[in-house]
Chain A
Amino acid sequence: MRRVLALCLLLNACSSQPTIDDSIRSYAGGMPANLSGSWERDYSRSDDIQGVLNSMLRKLSRPVQDPGFGNNRRGGGSVVPTQDLSKVVALARLADLITRPDVLTITQNEFEVSIARKDDFAMLCEFYDGYAKRTESDYGTEVCSWNGHQLVSHLVLPDGLLISHRFTKSADGRSLHVATTVSSSATRAPFTVNRVYVKFTPTESDFNCVETLSMKRVCSTGEIVP
């Protein structure tokens, strides 16, 4: 392994709940890549969810020898049960929902990367001295890692549900590839969808706006003094 991995996701053999080990240092010095900026989806280079799902369902419906899918009975393999297929469809639907925002607004500083999406929470990756810090609540745990120049975000939810995003910026810095994988302990087949985003500069408004507490958003054509 070239670099020390920041995080190991260990699927616990005794439990259906994925566990997270974030005790490994992800990097030394500054963050390995700067992903900040406004990114909009490039549909021509992004996966079509229906296409990915169809392809996956065809693959799963065929008798397989791969012990990773379905029951590998002696003498010829078997198809994945229909019940399992509906769970894969469920994962695909969730992946579709999660990756629906067309625009990602990423802000990054010395300690954190925040990925804001419309109609969803902002994904948050916190690092202190190269170590990832979990964001925990009663409903799930979010933790990130750097794998080389790739930022990997994991969201562990109850019932063995795991959502991972892998962010990779192109060498020229103009595009951002995001691979989103949704998996569940209820089915052995994870669902992955790839999205590509291109950097853009948001159009400047004629107004200067500032968020305030008592007056909400205050805008002016001149300098704002709340």
Chain B
Amino acid sequence: MKAATILLLLCLPLLVAAQGGRNVSELNISIAIFDPGIPADRSLHRDLQVFPRVREIEALYLPFVLREALVGTQEWGAVRVVPESDVAAELLVSGTIVRSDGETLQLQMRAVDASGRVWVDRVFAGVTANQQLYDDIATGLRTARAELDSKTLQNVIEISLLRYAQQLAPDAFAGYLSSTSDGTFRIERLPAANDPMVERIERIRGVEYVFTDAVDAKFRELSADVAIVYDVWREYRRKFTQYQIDDALHAQNSKSDAPRGSYEAILSRYENYKWDRQAAQEQESWAVGFENEVGPTITAIEARVAELEGWVEDRYAEWRRILTELFELETELPD
């Protein structure tokens, strides 16, 4: 790992230089793993047909589907799925699963840029299997961006770097930004173009991006495995929803005319309940089957996320210490 880090640090000036001539409208997007939207009250799960483990898998998988849609537009910079919300991201997209029943998917989406400006904050709904929902989100982001001029977008990029820098070296970057009561950030002054501290911060951020992208690439392979099983799950749920509709119609149209209290009448009542419950219980067994099938994949994803987070956290602590020491050295008054 150490050798890889050194190699990356050597290559970084090239990476950073390559980003120099970027189009300001092509902001980098970070999509945080979604909030699965599982009700805290466990007693509601069955009533709402929320299968917690399946929701957790969806929360991990659906951001990748959105990422693919955004990458496909070729209108943005790097689009990354990140394990946790990164407030310093140029544009942070987060989502909560409101409803997912195989037929309908509802996502509460929120996109906030580094300056704290809210681009999108609403529910998007669509047919689960359809690409349209993701295209609608992409359109929402594009529309929000169209309302901003180049200077504002350039500000977003600068604020993003300064907020990231403040997380790593708060003393060195104090006073560059101010925050307003509505939670937005404004640039008060910019560091000098040749500020060595900024160059270091950019290098560090580059390292983080490279590692995020490496893990991200592995995620993509794994999400392809999940996609196959998820399609089966979605189809089962869709059929179940249709079954419930058909079953209700059937029950309505086929009421037993056997005398009240007769065996035929009471058997009919029992059988109706029995079939309804068996169908619901079969759906629960699908959820278990889904979890059994994609469980190893998800465990691998979670392990890699934990590995990345652990690595970044360790490096952060080290980088913070080094940057603090450098800042003290560089600002120290001569005796």
Whether chain B is bound by chain A comes out as yes
A188-226: CB near B (< 8 Å → 1, else 0) gives 000000000000000000000011111110000000011
In the bound complex, residues from chain B placing their C-beta under 8 Å from that of A184 are: 261, 266
CB of A86 to closest CB in B, whole Å: 7
CB of A222 to closest CB in B, whole Å: 15
Contact: A111 with B42, CB < 8 Å?
A: yes
In the bound complex, residues from chain B placing their C-beta under 8 Å from that of A138 are: 248, 251, 276
A76-94: CB near B (< 8 Å → 1, else 0) gives 0000000000110111011
Pick from B248, B262, B274, B277: contact of A90, CB under 8 Å: B262
Given A90-B261, A90-B263, A163-B270, verify A121-B277 contact (CB < 8 Å): yes
Grouping DSSP codes into helix (H, G, I), strand (E, B) and loop, the A interface class, with mixed when no group exceeds half, is mixed
In the bound complex, residues from chain B placing their C-beta under 8 Å from that of A159 are: 260-261, 265-266, 269
CB of A139 to closest CB in B, whole Å: 4
Pick from A86, A93, A133, A142: contact of B43, CB under 8 Å: A133
CB of B29 to closest CB in A, whole Å: 32
CA distance A94 to B266 in the complex (A): 8
In the bound complex, residues from chain B placing their C-beta under 8 Å from that of A128 are: 41-43
**B306 at the binding interface (Cβ < 8 Å):** no
Contact: A211 with B288, CB < 8 Å?
A: yes
Pick from B232, B269, B289, B290: contact of A158, CB under 8 Å: B269
**B233 at the binding interface (Cβ < 8 Å):** yes
Contact: B277 with A212, CB < 8 Å?
A: no
In the bound complex, residues from chain A placing their C-beta under 8 Å from that of B228 are: 214
Pick from A94, A212, A216: contact of B263, CB under 8 Å: A94
Given A90-B262, A90-B263, A121-B281, verify A215-B293 contact (CB < 8 Å): yes
In the bound complex, residues from chain A placing their C-beta under 8 Å from that of B288 are: 211
Pick from B233, B273, B293, B295: contact of A137, CB under 8 Å: B273
Contact: B232 with A214, CB < 8 Å?
A: yes
Contact: B263 with A89, CB < 8 Å?
A: yes
In the bound complex, residues from chain B placing their C-beta under 8 Å from that of A111 are: 42-43
CA distance A196 to B233 in the complex (A): 40
B282-299: CB near A (< 8 Å → 1, else 0) gives 000110111011011000
Contact: B43 with A137, CB < 8 Å?
A: no
> Quick one: which of A93, A111, A139 has the most chain B CB within 10 A?
A139
In the bound complex, residues from chain B placing their C-beta under 8 Å from that of A121 are: 273-274, 277-278, 281
CB of B244 to closest CB in A, whole Å: 9
**A14 at the binding interface (Cβ < 8 Å):** no
**Interface size of A by Cβ–Cβ distance < 8 Å?**
42
CA distance A124 to B41 in the complex (A): 18
CA distance A94 to B268 in the complex (A): 10
CA distance A1 to B11 in the complex (A): 79
CA distance A11 to B314 in the complex (A): 66
Q: Which residue on B lies nearest to A129, using beta carbons?
A: B43
Given A137-B277, A159-B260, verify A214-B229 contact (CB < 8 Å): yes
**B327 at the binding interface (Cβ < 8 Å):** no
> Quick one: which of B229, B236, B260, B261 has the most chain A CB within 10 A?
B261
Contact: B273 with A139, CB < 8 Å?
A: yes
Contact: A91 with B266, CB < 8 Å?
A: yes
In the bound complex, residues from chain A placing their C-beta under 8 Å from that of B229 are: 213-214
User: In A116-167, which residues have CB < 8 Å from any B CB?
Assistant: 120-122, 124, 126, 128, 133, 135, 137-140, 142, 155, 157-159, 161, 163
With A91-B266, A163-B270, A213-B290 known, 5 other A-B pairs at CB within 8 A are: A140-B272, A142-B277, A155-B273, A157-B270, A187-B261
What are 11 of the A-B contact pairs (CB < 8 Å)?
A94-B266, A111-B42, A122-B277, A157-B269, A159-B260, A161-B269, A184-B266, A213-B232, A213-B286, A213-B293, A214-B232
Which 7 pairs across A and B sit closest by C-beta, in order of nearness? A186-B261, A121-B277, A90-B263, A213-B289, A87-B261, A140-B273, A139-B273
Chain A residues engaging chain B, CB cutoff 8 angstroms: 86-87, 89-91, 93-94, 97-98, 111, 120-122, 124, 126, 128, 133, 135, 137-140, 142, 155, 157-159, 161, 163, 182, 184, 186-187, 210-216, 225-226
Chain B residues engaging chain A, CB cutoff 8 angstroms: 41-43, 46, 228-229, 232-233, 236, 248, 251, 260-263, 265-267, 269-270, 272-274, 276-278, 280-281, 285-286, 288-290, 292-293, 295-296
